[in-house]
Amino acid sequence: MKYYSTALFLVFSIFCELYAQNNKMVLVEGGVYLPLYGAEGKTVKVAPFLMDALPVTNADYLKFVQENPKWKKSNVKSLFADKSYLAKWTDDTTFTGLKDAPVNNVSWFAAKNYCECQGKRLPTIDEWEYAAMADENVPDARKIKTYNQYILNWYETPKTFNKPVGSTFKNYWGIYDLHGLVWEWTQDFNAVLISGESRKDVDKDANLFCGSAAIGASDLMNYAAFMRFAFRGSMKARYSSQNLGFRCAKDIEN
């Protein structure tokens, strides 16, 4: 079913109005990192890529639906977005909250198409996690206690989606708001739970429940990452959520 709908979507997605959007992108230099899940204790190479410095805002998204009416609240196909799609918009072209607050309640299909319409794509989990390891000063702050506590604190703080983009810290790469406003969609968000990797399905409990979540994880102290993986695992591509937005990424052109 998932593959079917994805295929159907690919046909559907070709028809979109391209427009230039002015969200600045910044370069994230490549490197290697050890992900929490999915690499059997091996490090993963991340190629250099460009990432939006800011999450997509309500105003950005309004422009998108005006140019691509199929993504308007009243037009959207239920295959691609569930009932909470743009739930807080009072009609097709009126959002609530700040115009520069991150857009939320958008499905993966919608976020993916938004990026494609700008010649971009969603970042992969590895790219997102790699960029989000950075604090203000260093590219990998995961062992710094205050950094982890900062992330855990915002996961516990209600209604952060109401704040304007750019209101949290600028990280080592020049990216804002990876932690502090909303969760963000990634290209392969469900790759960890829905594993096509048969060895894993046979040998291990691949679920993120109870003690099982500790099996196969590379860093038991990274509670923040556990929560992100759990969140991603709970989502389906047509779901949308109040605390979930997105930003786009792009390959480096040679």
185 touches other proteins (CB under 8 A)? no
Pick 123 or 216: Cβ nearer other proteins: 216
Is residue 133 a contact partner of residue 141, using CB atoms and an 8 Å limit? yes
145 touches other proteins (CB under 8 A)? yes
Binding mask 92-131 for other proteins (x = CB under 8 A): ----------------------------------------
Q: How far is the CB of 34 from other proteins (least distance, A)?
A: 18
CA distances from 147 to 46, 136, 192, 224 (A): 22, 10, 24, 10
Stretch that binds other proteins, among 8-16, 51-59, 89-97, 239-247 (CB under 8 A): 239-247
Question: How long, in residues, is the chain?
Answer: 254
Is residue 48 a contact partner of residue 30, using CB atoms and an 8 Å limit? yes
Q: Which of 155, 174, 180, 250 binds other proteins (CB under 8 A)?
A: 155
- Extended beta strands in 30-79, E state: 31-33, 44-46, 49-52
78 touches other proteins (CB under 8 A)? no
Q: How far is the CB of 89 from other proteins (least distance, A)?
A: 14
Task: Tell me the HSE value of 26 on the side-chain side, using a 13 A CA sphere.
Answer: 13
